[in-house]
Amino acid sequence: MLELIANIVADRTNLSESSIYNNLLNRERLGSTGLGQGFAVPHARVDDLDKTIGCFFRLKQAVNFESPDNRPVDLVFTIIIPEEATEEHLMILSSLASIFSREEICDAIRNAASKDEIAQIIQSAEQ
């Protein structure tokens, strides 16, 4: 999963795939970023990045993320953050944890028919 994320982010930025992957993997080694409810938020700080990058994935097949509730993960929101963006990093993680801890939000996303509908659900939940 982390390799796929690194590949997609590298394709959309000037960052190297190996750098993204290694940073994601190093963060995951500190402890699982699986939060429960089938949701994970793998994230990494990266040098030479001037803005935060977010990628959302709804997986067809859930994967083991060693989440605290032992539930496999099918919703993944990855954030790649500039090295110095500490406060922004914490605010984003807090917001995502709050949104995706709500079972009704996760269920609505799982049942959404399009990426636009998913984006709308997430945006509505933020407010």
Catalytic residues: 43
C-alpha span between 65 and 19 (Å, rounded): 21
